[in-house]
């Protein structure tokens, strides 16, 4: 009798190997006075990890201490991306694109680029003023940036770029460089007018009651004393900006004049930058960013639109609400010659 052969036991199929994690192409950093965001981005636009830390203030803390704050956000992003600590010759990314507050002069950009480059996070490091992040975030597609951005947050600044590499910018160092406005400037102006209204040196304004009332105080004299003696932190004066806009919206003449002056300053910054870049006679985007300009204050927005219609009638005005770290990431992808699809994927992530 023959023997029936036994069928061989099938071997289990090998388990598929997981693909190795993508190596970051860009380390994008956006650092403002109040917070820092970092993102590690692959060449195809995939966001591999993000991190956040505190404000970036090298004039107050010194450069190295300020870069330590960036390092906290970078470390959090690297941990999210499951990357080891950088070793000599093994950086996180090919390109570091850092858009930084307080990088207002070329010499400051160079110093900060050297300090960041020394950390070994990227094979190459490029530093921009943080206003460039708003400009790049507001421009679609993978084409080189072309247009102007005005940012009005804690301070005010404006930059512009053309595809040929030309830029327009301002020192943005406060009163010494001819600046006016921003959250800090608006709060100071409102306090000035309110103080003079109370003691008789100026005309009447509802700001004299509304500003101290915001802090539960009964008069401008009490508010001035609290700020002077430090019982109320001076940093809290930024809370007065929405109060100013509310009083202006109710029809107060003094508050309205402050709001209108801020709008006029935004218009003149944009128009001058467009003229420097020979864009006044062409259709060109004017992008508005920062807390003051993204808050939707009707009176401010209306006057900006009317002013630009007169001084730059071909400008296309829009508000940028995307996070500025998107702009830093796009600048990094630009430097690497990334495909438009990569720009689109990155934009969709932060969309």
Question: pLDDT band at residue 4, thresholds of 50, 70 and 90?
Answer: very low
- Model confidence pLDDT, tens digit, residues 52-84: 999 999 999 999 999 999 999 999 999 999 998
CA distance 71 to 61: 15
Question: pLDDT band at residue 3, thresholds of 50, 70 and 90?
Answer: very low
Structure confidence at residue 45 (pLDDT): 96
Question: pLDDT band at residue 7, thresholds of 50, 70 and 90?
Answer: very low
Structure confidence at residue 88 (pLDDT): 72
pLDDT at 1 over 80: no
Structure confidence at residue 8 (pLDDT): 47
Q: Helices marked H in the chain — which ranges?
A: 58-61, 63-80, 106-117, 131-137, 182-199, 207-214, 220-229, 240-249, 253-276, 291-294, 298-311, 324-335, 340-349
Structure confidence at residue 335 (pLDDT): 93
CA distance 239 to 307: 27
Check if the beta carbon of residue 343 is closer than 8 Å to that of residue 142. yes
Question: pLDDT band at residue 90, thresholds of 50, 70 and 90?
Answer: confident
pLDDT at 18 over 80: no
Give Cα 347 distance to the centre of its chain.
15
Question: pLDDT band at residue 165, thresholds of 50, 70 and 90?
Answer: confident
Task: Summarize the confidence of residues 256-283 as an average pLDDT.
Answer: 97
pLDDT exceeding 90 applies to what percent of the chain? 87
pLDDT at 141 over 80: no
* Averaged confidence pLDDT in the chain: 92
pLDDT at 142 over 70: no
Task: Summarize the confidence of residues 137-162 as an average pLDDT.
Answer: 88
Q: How far apart are the first and last CA of the chain?
A: 75
Higher pLDDT among residues 213 and 23, named by residue? 213
CA distance 338 to 221: 58
* Nearest residue to 129 (alpha-carbon basis) of 316, 289, 262: 289
Question: pLDDT band at residue 140, thresholds of 50, 70 and 90?
Answer: confident
Task: Report the predicted TM-score, pTM, of the whole model to 2 decimal places.
Answer: 0.86
Task: Summarize the confidence of residues 167-177 as an average pLDDT.
Answer: 93
CA distance 290 to 153: 4
Structure confidence at residue 21 (pLDDT): 52
pLDDT exceeding 70 applies to what percent of the chain? 92
CA angle 312, 317, 322 (to 5 degrees): 150
Check if the beta carbon of residue 314 is closer than 8 Å to that of residue 320. no
Which tokens in the block code for residue 68?
A: 């330590």
* Nearest residue to 99 (alpha-carbon basis) of 43, 176, 29: 29
CA distance 151 to 157: 5
Structure confidence at residue 94 (pLDDT): 95
Check if the beta carbon of residue 138 is closer than 8 Å to that of residue 289. yes
CA angle 123, 128, 134 (to 5 degrees): 120
Please provide residue 19's backbone torsions phi and psi, each rounded to the nearest 5 degrees. Answer: -65, 140
Task: Summarize the confidence of residues 265-269 as an average pLDDT.
Answer: 98
- Model confidence pLDDT, tens digit, residues 188-229: 999 999 999 999 999 999 999 999 999 999 999 999 999 999
């Amino acid at each position: 009798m023959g023997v029936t052969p036994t069928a061989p036991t099938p071997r289990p199929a090998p388990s598929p190997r997981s693909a190795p994690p993508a190596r970051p192409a860009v380390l994008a950093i956006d650092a403002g006075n109040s917070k820092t965001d970092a993102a590690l981005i692959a060449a195809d636009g995939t966001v591999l990890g993000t991190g956040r830390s505190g404000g970036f203030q090298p004039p107050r803390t010194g450069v190295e201490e300020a870069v330590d704050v960036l390092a906290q956000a970078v470390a959090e992003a690297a941990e999210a991306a499951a990357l080891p600590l950088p070793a000599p010759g093994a950086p996180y990314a090919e390109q570091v694109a850092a858009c930084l507050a307080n990088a207002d002069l070329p010499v400051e950009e160079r110093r900060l680029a050297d300090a960041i480059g020394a950390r070994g996070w990227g094979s190459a490091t490029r530093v921009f003023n943080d206003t460039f992040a708003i400009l790049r975030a507001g421009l679609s597609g993978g084409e080189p940036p072309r247009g102007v951005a005005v940012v009005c947050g804690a301070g005010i600044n404006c930059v512009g770029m053309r595809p040929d590499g030309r830029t327009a910018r301002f020192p943005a160092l406060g009163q010494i460089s001819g600046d006016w406005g921003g959250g800090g400037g608006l709060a100071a102006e409102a306090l000035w007018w309110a103080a003079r209204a109370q003691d008789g040196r100026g005309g009447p304004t509802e700001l004299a009651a509304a500003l101290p009332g915001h802090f539960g105080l009964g008069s401008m004299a009490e508010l001035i004393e609290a700020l002077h003696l430090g019982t109320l932190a001076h940093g809290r004066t930024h809370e007065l900006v929405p109060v100013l806009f509310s009083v202006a919206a109710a029809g107060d003449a003094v508050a309205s004049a402050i709001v209108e002056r801020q709008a006029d300053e935004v218009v003149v910054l944009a128009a001058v930058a467009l003229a420097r870049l020979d864009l006044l006679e062409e259709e060109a985007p004017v992008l508005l960013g920062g807390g003051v300009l993204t808050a939707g204050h009707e009176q401010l927005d209306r006057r900006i639109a009317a002013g630009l219609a007169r001084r730059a009638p071909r400008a296309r005005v829009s508000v940028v609400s995307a996070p500025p770290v998107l702009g830093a990431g796009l600048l990094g992808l630009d430097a690497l010659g990334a495909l438009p699809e990569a720009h689109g994927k990155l934009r969709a992530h932060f969309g």
